[in-house]
Structure 1
Amino acid sequence: MRFLTAFLLLACGLAQAQGPSQPPYQASAPLSWELKNARWFDGQKIQRGSLYVENGVFVARKPAKVNRKMDIHGQQVLINPLAEAHNHNLQTAWGWGQYAQTYLDEGVFYAAMLCGDPAGVAEVKPLTATPAAPDVSFVTACITSSDGYPLAAVLPEPSAEAAAAQKQIVLVDSPELALAQWPAIKARGGNWLRIVLAHSERPELRGRPEMFGRLGLTPETANALTRLARADGRRVVAHVETAADFDAALAAGVDAIAHLPGYANTLDEAPERFAISEAAAAQAARQHTAVITTTAATALFKLDAATLAALRDVQRANLARLQAAGVQLLIGSDVFVGTGRAELHALDDLGLDRATLLRLATRDTPLALFPGRKLGCFDPGCEASFLVLGADPLTDLATIDMPLLRVKQGRLLTRLADVAAASSQASTSTADPPKKAAAKKKGGKAKTPSKAKQR
């Protein structure tokens, strides 16, 4: 009776442990599902009951034809897939080949890439338009100053000449240039643009050779770009480093802020430079400005113990202040070799409430990345995308590291081609009771057909 469940769990879950040589995930045809005795996370707590899937969405009643029936016993829990609100590893064809399967492995079905070149993104978009692929939102207008971040990271030899020659990032140094370059910025496409604010409160850093490629826009230029974007119906996400950058982004009126101040301390500054004020948190809530956390990225800087502890204290305080004000937090890691799952664990280590953390990862962030879709829920009409975990993640978050089953819009995701191909065929079910042999009637002998019936 448990054979089908065990087989599916083996086929869809355990294959991830065998390394990058594994074949890519494939998607079955859309399936109708009956999930009996299910337990699922609804954004606040664990619910119990039966769930039904038809035509890629959850439905209220059992479908007339069910392809897959599962009786979910024991400690297994369903959650909606995770999301990644800040990364760059899927915005090129090379990066897609390296990391797209990792997203599916880790149960991260939704992602935002925040600084893609339009030509590179054009190569990737067809790859995203398949059932066995993460859904990705791309930002293709990434704007900084002519000496701004991330030029130092993307140029082989950082220099003013190399910065002017590259095409991935738009360079703007004044409000007047923002207006002049707006037609070219619009031509890069997309519904969002990303602006960079980095140490905007320290103009004395301009012109220093060691700071080339590590700074960003002036607050005045950020204001001008945000006004132009708003007038054109586009939204703006701002990269920030310090609390002063955070304030400048709010003053500009951006829609989202990428990075919790204090995610890094590249200039070895005092921790208080990264502390968000209560007034700023209240303003962010009032303006409905979301904050993408990226605390997992802190581990990339290999800080000494004392510096790391000081930054983590600032991060805890900032998170608490933003939550108390009611600011929308979004899960994003900015870890190039990882996904949003790394940020989930980083925030858990910082002490974020587990139910809140799972809600942010499985509902709030997916909805922010793809507004208008019914994501992060198990109600009728919601997209039937979910993970089956071996235990309750509210008590054991490590269980998210090994999804037992992945389903995307009703399709089973598996590395086994024959399983994907055969999934829509009729099969033995863990939910069906065993068939009983027909009982013999009392008297033992079967009735002899009448002569009329024999003729």
Structure 2
Amino acid sequence: MTKHSNLKTFLAPISLMGAVLAAPAAAQEIPTCQFTLKDANVFTGDGFETRDVSIDGRRFVSEHPVGAPEIEAGWMYIIPPLVDAHTHTLDEVMRPGSSVHRGFLDRGIYYALNPNSILRDDDAALPLAPDQVEMAYTGGGITGPGGHPRPLYEGLVRARIYREITVEELPGRAYHEAATAEDVRAAVRAVAATRATAVKLMLYDHKSPDTKALDGERFRAAVDEAKKLGLRPMVHVEFAADARLAFELGVAAIVHMPGHAGARRDLIDAYRLTAEDAAIAARNNVAVVPTVAIAFNGASGQALKDAQELQAYNLKLLRDAGVVIGAGSDRYSADALDELDLLRATGLFEGPELLRIGTENGIKIAFGEDRKAGRIESGYEASFIALRSDPSTDWYTLRNPLAGFRAGQQIEQSRMFTQACTAN
């Protein structure tokens, strides 16, 4: 996470939470939706097929609900909602009326992961409302004394970007500094006590004796403790050696790819993954959120060209090995759609692959393999966005969803569902 010049979303006081998952709950009476979309063009993960889609309450079902309306949908392209797998823009606790959340929802992004956030002691898990993105938070990341993200957060507080916390209150909330393996284990336990289901760990040149993040010993201790407590390790990496260690230990995800911000020309080989690295990641089910937007945002000219060549090199290795890739920009003024644009521009991914990256893969990264969402299949959460055309051939249609549901609840309103969604 880095500071960006466009800070308009942070001009109001910001409230933050550390719980990874606030499960949808009914704060108000929510209409029960029952309907069938007839002859819709449905995304399967590999492309589109024409078939009926039935919803009965929170789930997709295999049979048309008795007495429910049928809606002609031959013009409609149905995909799961998008997931931003690395954002810090959505730092607010889920409260009604947030224009920041509404902006994401209007673009079809119904889920997101914030992999480092400030924990407030008085924050409570609030029911998920239709005008809020469903968020996964990790609370403060674990690093070494003085390591990232401490300098970043101190700068944001001094710049009055975060107004409800002082610099002195940041330790233990925005980050945890750990000088020893026992410090690390205690920090992981502190994160677990917040009801989080994931923990952020910082690796930055872990082999160097001068690293301010975690070295190999402390990182291994953190991963070991996290797994004992059922936490999913999310890892910030810089160099290929950092990613390799994370892959070998079987973390849940690395939320940057080596070379995400480009590379110093005299160190470029230190950022290059190998085919063996990618194979280990795939074998150990470690996902990768590349955040290629970081270099695009910060570099230009030859520096940007060099960064994009390095990114494409690493991305091809990961793609060819079958590693799960997610989309998130790690930019305050950008989101998963911007990241998907840049991934598409590499020429490495076809339309269906990009849609999987932006939907099903993001659910797995943010909420884990057990979450039955991200696919339009019977038994899965009834979540989808409706588009007017095939995004494989009309890419920008993704930015204009015409209707949308999350777990059977209307998010993007459409009159076509008025009869289908009434209180029963």
TM-score past 0.5 threshold = yes
Q: Which moved more, 1:264-273 or 1:246-255?
A: 264-273
- 1:135-174 correspondence runs (5 A): 135-156=134-155, 166=171, 167-174=173-180
Within 2, Cα distance between the matches of 1:267 and 1:171? 27
C-alpha contact 1:27 1:414 (8 A) present in aligned 2: no
Within 1, Cα distance between the matches of 2:339 and 2:201? 22
Aligned match of 1:200: 206
Aligned match of 1:358: 355
Judged with a 3 Å threshold, the aligned counterparts in structure 2 of structure 1 residues 50 and 271 are, in CA distance, closer, same or farther, namely same
Aligned match of 1:106: 107
C-alpha contact 2:344 2:354 (8 A) present in aligned 1: yes
Alpha-carbon displacement from aligned partner over 1:373-429 (angstroms, at most 9, x marks no partner): 32122222222211111110111211101111112223333469x999876469xxx
Within 2, Cα distance between the matches of 1:229 and 1:286? 20
Query: Are positions 1:392 and 2:390 aligned together?
Result: yes
Alpha-carbon displacement from aligned partner over 1:35-76 (angstroms, at most 9, x marks no partner): 122111110011002222212222222222225x421244x3
How far the C-alpha of 1:308 sits from its partner, in A, is 0.8
Amino acid at match of 2:327: I
Within 2, Cα distance between the matches of 1:27 and 1:311? 50
- 1:302-317 correspondence runs (5 A): 303-317=299-313
C-alpha contact 2:240 2:271 (8 A) present in aligned 1: yes
Within 2, Cα distance between the matches of 1:49 and 1:415? 23
State the secondary structure of the residue aligned to 1:63. coil
C-alpha contact 2:94 2:132 (8 A) present in aligned 1: no
C-alpha contact 2:252 2:365 (8 A) present in aligned 1: no
How far the C-alpha of 1:102 sits from its partner, in A, is 1.6
Structure 2 unaligned residues grouped into runs of 5+: 1-27, 159-165
Judged with a 3 Å threshold, the aligned counterparts in structure 2 of structure 1 residues 378 and 199 are, in CA distance, closer, same or farther, namely same
Query: Are positions 1:31 and 2:38 aligned together?
Result: no
How far the C-alpha of 1:266 sits from its partner, in A, is 7.4
Structure 1 unaligned residues grouped into runs of 5+: 1-25, 207-214, 427-455
Within 2, Cα distance between the matches of 1:165 and 1:414? 37
State the secondary structure of the residue aligned to 2:316. helix
Query: Are positions 1:231 and 2:231 aligned together?
Result: no
Aligned match of 2:340: 344
Amino acid at match of 1:189: R
Higher helix share: 1
Alpha-carbon displacement from aligned partner over 1:237-288 (angstroms, at most 9, x marks no partner): 1101121221232344422111111111476754322111122112212222
Within 2, Cα distance between the matches of 1:54 and 1:186? 35
Query: Are positions 1:278 and 2:275 aligned together?
Result: yes
Within 2, Cα distance between the matches of 1:317 and 1:38? 38
Within 2, Cα distance between the matches of 1:321 and 1:241? 17
Alpha-carbon displacement from aligned partner over 1:171-219 (angstroms, at most 9, x marks no partner): 0122243245554344333121111112334435x5xxxxxxxx42112
State the secondary structure of the residue aligned to 2:85. strand
Query: Are positions 1:66 and 2:65 aligned together?
Result: no
How far the C-alpha of 1:85 sits from its partner, in A, is 1.5
Amino acid at match of 1:156: G
Query: Are positions 1:249 and 2:246 aligned together?
Result: yes
Structure of greater Rg: 1
Within 1, Cα distance between the matches of 2:398 and 2:29? 21
C-alpha contact 2:250 2:281 (8 A) present in aligned 1: no
Amino acid at match of 1:235: R
- Percent identity over the alignment is 26
Within 2, Cα distance between the matches of 1:413 and 1:27? 15
Judged with a 3 Å threshold, the aligned counterparts in structure 2 of structure 1 residues 389 and 152 are, in CA distance, closer, same or farther, namely same
Aligned match of 2:407: 409
- 1:374-393 correspondence runs (5 A): 374-393=372-391
Amino acid at match of 1:116: S
- 1:430-445 correspondence runs (5 A): none
Amino acid at match of 2:219: A
How far the C-alpha of 1:28 sits from its partner, in A, is 6.6
Judged with a 3 Å threshold, the aligned counterparts in structure 2 of structure 1 residues 83 and 269 are, in CA distance, closer, same or farther, namely farther
